Structure 1
Amino acid sequence: MEDLLNQIDSKRTSFKTDSYSMSIGELVSLYEREEIIIRPEYQRLFRWSHGQKVKLIESIILGIPIPSIFVYQNEDGIWELVDGLQRVSTVLQLFGVLKGEKPLVLEGTKYIPDLEGFKWENSSSKNKELPANIKLGIKRAKINLTIILSDSDKRAKFEVFQRLNTGGSNASNQEIRNNVMIMINPDKFKWFENLSKNRDFLETLSLSDRLFEEQYHMELLLRYIALSNYPYNKKKDVGDFLDDINEEILNNENFDFNRVKEEFELTFSILNEVLGEKSFKKHNGEDFRGKFLESAYEAISVGLTANLDLYKNDRNSLLEKVRRLYDEDDYNKTSGSGSNAKSRIPKLIPFAKKFFSKK
């Protein structure tokens, strides 16, 4: 019991926060003075629809409270937005000051249908410019901020971001990981992002547009790197395992990015040459058909990488090996209906490495 209480007390002191209520007008002024930072990468990864933006402005006009936003205060006193990107960006776009975006044009809503076509400033049509009293009301509307102070534990802002956005969020787990990457090390994020755009890799996946939008291809990249380079923790769900490896790679100064990149590129170059978009589709006895199979992706990509010397100069034997994979009891037992990644991976990965080790 004493150890438990000591653990709780020690971690509580890692998160030092303050709360503050600010008007929207003050928040906009902070942004214009560059005293609050919004990383442009966030805007690219998390985008609201036009309707979602208008609904937020409608809420402000009607006096409906806005959820709190979270910022991290660095040693210079500058705030970095941790959570609340779309709310803040939408307000800044309405005011016409958001960098890289055109001013927001409103549309009619359920409660204010006459809002159609209005803008904050409208030099070409004054009758479609928001009235002065509405503007003043928006400027004076309050928003609550939780400030993570600079003397918190260095991981505090990452923990807050991940916990706020995991579960109940429209963001996929990989979108959250991407933003954590950007927070911890933008250069390493760019390395991941560049790898995820590899032509051979993308052509072997044959994913839907929706899955690409949800950054599933980047999750598959991380999954490949994790399973090829780290032992799987059987006690953890795959999502938690990938979170841990994501953090490990970003914080490990000794991670061999060059080796991993070379192995990744050679693996998917071979697969694309031999099978192309059929690389991770089941062989039915005649051809590779059907949908992308996560279990096949794990087995084939990791198994091939572990045995690259055998196949880099003998592509035909790889084709036959992949065909035979789907007849293997060990593969089918771990990848059949009712299986899940947590129970599948501890058996599948050792099997795959051994299976591909012999032609």
Structure 2
Amino acid sequence: MKFMDLQAQLEDNRRSVAFDSYDISVRQLYDMTLEGMIDIAPDYQRHFVWDEARQSELIESLFLGIPVPTLYMATNRDSSWEVIDGLQRLTTIINYVGSLDVIKEVNAKGSKLKISSLEKLSSLNGTRYEDLPKSLQVMFQTRPIRVTVLNDRSDNSVRYDLFERLNTGGVNLHPQEIRNCVYTGEFNDFIKELSMNDSFRNVVKVTKSSANKGVYEELVLKFFCYYEQRDKFVHNVKEFLNDYMESKTKSFKNKVRLRNIFEQTFNELERSLPNGIVRGNRLNVTPMVLFEAIAIGTADVIDNDIAVRQGVIQDLLDNEALKKLTSGATNSRKRLHDRINFVKDAIEHDFRNN
């Protein structure tokens, strides 16, 4: 029975993945990137980390005809390709062949590649692409690279899974960075816009490195997901957020209502919590589970037209009962409901008794 289940899972998941493979020349890849046929997503660009020596090794491998790892792409709705795995290699080619203007367009911090540290082709050390005779330029441009493309018959969950599994650029992508590449569209733009909201930024405290990895955007997503669909949460937060974002990417019809509750909630929290959602007297980092309890609980009382008295939410931050609900094993539907309802009930109780 166990292997029958395995066979069914294999057949089901293999049907959901559809690939096409091509051998494409260096020149074609370069031209396709410049023409927008290959997209290096803005959320992904900043993760170019190869130094000059590592880039030079790739150029040497291409000159020598040594096979380089396959580039993986995904097909977008407009038939363009988006890089899943291969950012370092593709950007290196552009840094070598492209003009400075082209390089800056693809990667704002990029620079022209001067070859260095090679042993086999040591004569290339200290040179740039423009220094090569035409025959060597043509040789380089016609080198083939294997490209495997996830076509548009595969769903977004497969694309997310591939981003997560195949990314080998030396910097692990945060789940929200992957979502920003996979779930493109109006709802993703909406999340990014609200993540810049001043009241939200004043209330939520994250580290600089986290801010650069999409944590603000993920917290906006988490706010809406728990506000609308907390009853569907089971245990896996990542998959829960992915499913919600997938549904909103397909159909986003309540933009005004969601914007209003978001802005009302964080305007109220900015008023009630001048130091933000933090525990103690130090301006430290917002605990994510505490964020869920305070933000969603406050949104619920705003929905019920309950006025929040000054000091009530501030007192909740260090409440011992809430501490217990926001520590330990917290990823269950019951614990999620318990901590949100604790905040909601406390604010409503204060309202009724004052």
TM range (shorter): 0.7 to 0.9
8 Å Cα contact 2:74/2:159 also seen in 1: no
Q: Secondary structure at the match of 1:230?
A: helix
RMSD value, Cα: 3.5
CA distance change for structure 1 residues 246 and 142 in 2, over 3 Å: closer, same or farther?
Answer: same
1:198 deviates by: 0.5
Alpha-carbon contact 1:204-1:271 (below 8 Å) kept: yes
Q: Which residue of 2 aligns with 1:267?
A: 265
| Equivalences for residues 328-347 of structure 1 within 5 A | 328-329=320-321, 331-336=322-327, 338-342=328-332, 344-347=335-338
8 Å CA contact 2:95–2:103 kept in 1: the answer is yes
* 1:138 paired residue among 137, 140, 147: 140
- From 82, 102, 105, the equivalent of 1:100 is 105
Once the two structures are overlaid, the 10-residue window that deviates more, 65-74 or 257-266, is: 65-74
Where 1:71 maps in the other structure, the secondary structure is strand
The correspondence of residues 70-109 of structure 1 with structure 2, limited to 5 A, is 70-72=72-74, 78-83=79-84, 84-96=86-98, 97=102, 100-101=105-106, 104-106=111-113, 109=116
Residue by residue over 1:273-314, the C-alpha shift from the partner in whole angstroms, topping out at 9 and shown as x without a partner, is: 2323x221114xxx4654322222111111100001678755
Contact 1:71–1:148 (8 Å) recurs in 2? yes
Quote how far apart the aligned CAs of 1:247 are: 1.3
| Contact 1:18 1:147 survives alignment (8 Å) | yes
* Residue type at the aligned position of 1:356: I
The answer on 1:298 being equivalent to 2:298 is no
Shift of 1:218: 0.9
CA distance in 1, matches of 2:311, 2:176: 31
CA deviation profile, 1:114-146 (whole Å, cap 9, x unmatched): 97774333xxxxxxx356565445324332111
> Which residue matches 2:203?
204
Counterpart of 1:279 (choices 276, 281, 287) is 276
Compute the displacement of 1:19 (Å).
2.0
The answer to whether the 8 A contact 1:70-1:82 is kept is yes
Answer whether contact 2:118 2:125 (CA < 8 A) is retained. no
Structure 1 residue runs of 5 or longer lacking an equivalent are 122-128
Task: Measure, in 2, the Cα distance between the counterparts of 1:157 and 1:52.
Answer: 31
The CA distance in 1 between the partners of 2:21 and 2:235, in whole Å, is 34
TM-score by length of 1: 0.78
Q: What's the % identity of the aligned pairs? A: 23
What TM-score do the two structures reach when normalised by structure 2?
A: 0.79
- Change in CA separation of 1:156 and 1:15 when aligned onto 2, cut-off 3 Å: farther
Q: Work out whether residues 24 and 141 of structure 1, in 8 Å CA contact, stay in contact via their aligned partners in 2.
A: yes
Taking a change above 3 Å as real, the CA distance of residues 239 and 155 of structure 1, as seen in their structure-2 partners, is closer
Q: Deviation of residue 351 (structure 1)?
A: 2.7
Q: How far apart in 1 are the matches of 2:6 and 2:231?
A: 27
The answer as to 2:74 corresponding to 1:67 is no
Residues 194 and 204 of structure 1: is their aligned pair in 2 closer, same or farther, counting only changes over 3 Å?
A: same
- Cα distance in 1 for partners of 2:91, 2:161 equals 20
Counterpart CA distance in 1 for 2:148 and 2:330 is 38
Counterpart of 1:320?
312
**What is the identity, as a one-letter code, of the residue corresponding to 2:278?**
K
Q: CA–CA distance in 1 between the matches of 2:248 and 2:159?
A: 15
Structure-2 separation of matches of 1:288 and 1:50: 34
CA distance in 1 between partners of 2:278 and 2:239 (Å): 27
Deviation at 1:26, TM superposition (A): 2.9
CA-to-aligned-CA distance 1:10-56 (integer Å, 9 cap, x gap): 44333332322222123224445x482316xx134432346447623
The 3-state SS of whatever aligns with 2:73 is strand
Matches of 2:76 and 2:323, distance apart in 1: 52
- Name the count of aligned residue pairs: 335
User: Which residue of 2 is the match for residue 174 of structure 1?
Assistant: 176
Query: Could you list the runs of 5+ residues in structure 2 that have no partner in the other structure?
Result: none
* Alpha-carbon separation, structure 2, partners of 1:321 and 1:118: 63
In 2 relative to 1, CA 88–235 (structure 1 residues): closer, same or farther, beyond 3 Å? Answer: same
Contact persistence 2:48–2:88 (CA under 8 A): no
* Residue in structure 1 matching 2:343, options 338, 352, 357: 352
**In structure 1, what residue type is equivalent to 2:38?**
I
Task: Give 1:259 deviation, angstroms.
Answer: 0.8
User: Compared with structure 1, are the counterparts of its residues 323 and 311 closer, same or farther at alpha carbon in structure 2 (3 Å cutoff)?
Assistant: farther
Residues 43 and 85, structure 1, Cα contact 8 Å, conserved in 2: no
